[in-house]
Amino acid sequence: MSRYSTTKQIKNKAGKRQAATTILPVPTSTPSDSFIQVTSAERLDTLAYKFYGDAQLWWILAVVNGLGKGTLYVPENTRLRIPATTELSDLIEQTNNSR
């Protein structure tokens, strides 16, 4: 399931279609979540590939950690919540239902 499956399409002043901006709620933590401390600059997409095997899931790490506002980089000394792979489909569904 794509994170864009329920995104509203809008037209700008020039008539070009684009996806509407959506502010997503932070999903609640579960006991199966892991936490890591970033000790050097990291990117959300490389972390998503490392933990999930899919760099396109970077947005999940951004949503649950309140990151990604214009950048994929994670600052040093940031504690990151890593949702378990078993929770990913629930997180994607919850995200799509919140739109």
Q: Which residue has the higher pLDDT, 78 or 26?
A: 78
pLDDT category of residue 14 using cuts at 50, 70 and 90:
confident
pLDDT category of residue 38 using cuts at 50, 70 and 90:
very high
Enter the DSSP assignment of 98: T
The percentage of residues in the chain with a pLDDT greater than 90, rounded to a whole number, is 26
User: Angle at Cα 87 formed by Cα 42 and Cα 40, nearest 5°?
Assistant: 10
Q: How far apart are CA 77 and CA 75, in angstroms?
A: 7
Q: Which neighbouring-strand residues pair with 18? A: 10
Q: How far apart are CA 61 and CA 83, in angstroms?
A: 8
For 77-96, write each residue's pLDDT tens digit: 999 999 888 777 777 777 66
pLDDT at 90: 74
